[in-house]
Structure 1
Amino acid sequence: MTATIDIPALDGSGHFSAYRADPAGTPKAAIIVIQEVFGVNSGIRRRCDQWAEKGYLALAPDLFWRIEPGLDLDPDIPEQFQKGLSMIEPFDQQLGIADVEATIRFARGALPSGGKVGVVGYCLGGRLAYMTAARTDADATVGYYGVGIDGLLDEKHAIANPLLLHIPEEDHFVDKAAQARMHAGLDDHPKVTLYDYPGEDHGFATEFGQRRSEESAQLADSRTAAFFAEHLG
């Protein structure tokens, strides 16, 4: 079952929508899916549906609601791709993390007592996933091709629960030097796992579209599924 729901912002400034997908039975845990710059589009909604099929409650919050609520872009259309990129500058990442935290709290309230909440994000969402791991009580977090994580390494001491990061080696938004800094800063962290994907570019695991690289996408997604199965139950 799927629906669009409203979640109150933590600062009392309003409500934002979230796509919700429920499993057939009692959810074993919840997974928050953090959007790319293209909004809660068909690929993000499909991710939620897939987690529900695996027995999780899945939620994808509309993090651009303060700028342009309901944004739904196709990155394979050049004008829409550029529109997505234009959302980065006006987006307040601190408020975005607050909205992720509000969604985590909502999910905990919707689960049986003691239920765990995981978070997975892509692109901008991959960066926010790292920030979520450092700044919230999410039980397990996964980031795909997060941008600028090497500039957030001073927060790594706050990562208390498992974090998995997928890093395409040919990411044109994250150069080799930035990738090297991520490894130097995180390889010895007891809660962090990094996987590299040789030959792959940013967006290789998108659910739909021209950026998808099938074999590597399936490998990354299988690792994510195993990671959540281990840490969320």
Structure 2
Amino acid sequence: MTGQIQFNIPEEAFDWYDAYAHGMMDRREFMDRLGTLAKGGITMAMLTSALIPNYALAEQVNFNDEDIKASYATFSSPNGHGEGRGYLVQPSSLADGATAPCVLVVHENRGLNPYVKDVARRLAKVGFVAFAPDALHPLGGYPGNDDEGRTMQRSLDRSKIEADFIAAANFLHDHALSSGKVGVVGFCFGGYISNFLAASLPDVIDAAVPYYGTPARNDIVGNVKGPVMIQLAETDERVNAAWPAYEEVLKANNAPYQMHMYPDTRHGFHNDSTGRYNPEMAELSWGRTIEFFNEHLN
């Protein structure tokens, strides 16, 4: 897997993309700012192709891979939007009536895009039953582009989205394929949801791996029992600012935890569809994630 970046992107471009991706800057302002960097042989096309996701680059496990079986499943969410839907991937070697440890996969703030579906397939490839819900199901699902996906997700009631993911975790825990052991991994917004579920369902979530995600809100964060593996990017000041206080809570709870800070990485470094992707650190972090799940879910 190779990333898109073929030239030195000015650092401010990544900062602007982060602000744009998290709703702090609209697309017009983002593109206008990028335009000021299009000089000295760097074109707008080069900048946008490096910063904006290209999901053709994000497929590490094809949906036709003989080692996995992928489908979709719906679940009841009476305290959320009534019904949820997600991408369910199991190892094809799982015999009829057999069970396996499960991992809930939580997307970023734009719905169930191809990168996150591929993450679910990667987990199934190494023996887990993976389930990746789409928070945008009440609106028809991920629309095929991140801009519209972000707008759609912002339009939904945050508390109902959280309730949908609680319902999804319980659905996975009780699924016929489940061994009863459930982990969660998520990215950005999904990192927050991973922390949120560790606090909301400490007796259901057996292991949580939030990638560059903020802690659960103050009224429930004290419920976290762990184990938790925190994955942080070195230059991600916005998210990293919350870590010291979260660590104090984990220590006070005697919750088993690990924190890994990846040098020279940006928010989103695991996402292999953008120029923020850091192949070496993504591989290292993913190896640690799989080892963590193997330890706590098997």
- Measure how far apart 1:10 and its partner are: 3.0
Describe the shift of the 1:72–1:186 C-alpha distance in structure 2 as closer, same or farther (beyond 3 A).
farther
How far, CA to CA, are the matches of 1:222 and 1:144 in structure 2? 13
Cα offset, 1:156, TM superposition? 3.3
Percent identity over the alignment is 29
Residue in 2 that maps onto 1:9: 77
Larger-Rg structure: 2
CA distance change for structure 1 residues 202 and 7 in 2, over 3 Å: closer, same or farther? same
Shift in Å, 1:27 = 4.0
Aligned to 1:31: 103
Distance 1:46 1:144 in 2: 16
CA distance in 1, matches of 2:144, 2:80: 28
Q: Structure 1 residue 69: deviation in Å?
A: 2.8
SS at match of 2:220: helix
Deviation of 1:50 after TM superposition, in Å, equals 1.0
Partner residue of 1:210? 275
The AA in structure 2 aligned to 1:2 is A
SS state at 1:143 partner? strand
Is the 1:135–1:158 contact (alpha carbons within 8 Å) kept by the matching residues of 2?
A: yes
Q: Label 1:84 to 1:27 Cα distance change in 2 as closer, same or farther (>3 A).
A: same
> Unaligned regions of 5+ residues in structure 1, if any?
75-79
**1:72 to partner: Cα distance:** 4.7
Q: Which amino acid aligns with 1:35?
A: H
Counterpart pick for 1:69 among 140, 144, 147: 140
1:105 aligns with 2:175: no
TM-score (norm 2): 0.67
Q: CA RMSD in A?
A: 2.4
User: Per-residue displacement from partner, 1:16-39 (whole Å, max 9, x unpaired)?
Assistant: 211111112144211110011121
- The 5 A counterparts of 1:1-233 are 1-11=69-79, 13-24=81-92, 25=94, 26-66=98-138, 68-73=139-144, 80=146, 82-87=147-152, 89-111=154-176, 114-136=179-201, 137-147=204-214, 149=215, 152-153=217-218, 155-171=220-236, 173-174=238-239, 177-186=241-250, 189-233=254-298
How many pairs does the alignment contain? 223
Deviates more, 1:199-208 or 1:4-13: 4-13
- Give TM-score scaled by structure 1 length: 0.84
CA 1:72–1:119: 2 relative to 1, 3 Å:
farther
What amino acid does structure 1 have at the position aligned with 2:192?
R
